[in-house]
Amino acid sequence: MRLTDLKRKERARIVELTGGHGFRRNLETMGVREGKVVEMLTRHPVGGPVVIRIDNLTITIGRGMAMRVMVQRL
């Protein structure tokens, strides 16, 4: 499932970043890596960015990027 499918306060483990080298590098520099546990803080139902928490860091990423982050619910 995609990161954008999570509901508020739901937690999941990142299983795959589906994109090219630049996309993966960009997310990894923010701490978004395969194997990390992520918590959805806020998401807008129609569009806009999503706010997540990883390792006690609050991170905002665009919806397009978030749709390419595959997760597994915990």
Is residue 68, in this structure, part of any structural domain at all? no
pLDDT score of 20? 92
Phi, psi of 69 (to 5 degrees): -105, 115
pLDDT score of 45? 72
Residue 54: give the domain boundaries. 3-63
20-25 LR contacts (CB < 8 Å, sep 24+):
23/65, 23/68
Residue type at 71 in one-letter notation? V
Domains held by the chain: number: 1
The residues near 57 (Cβ < 8 Å, ≥ 6 apart) are 31
pLDDT score of 47? 80
Residue 40: CATH number of its domain: 2.30.30.90
pTM: 0.90
- For the stretch 6-57, pLDDT in tens is 999 999 999 999 989 999 999 999 999 999 999 999 977 778 899 999 999 9
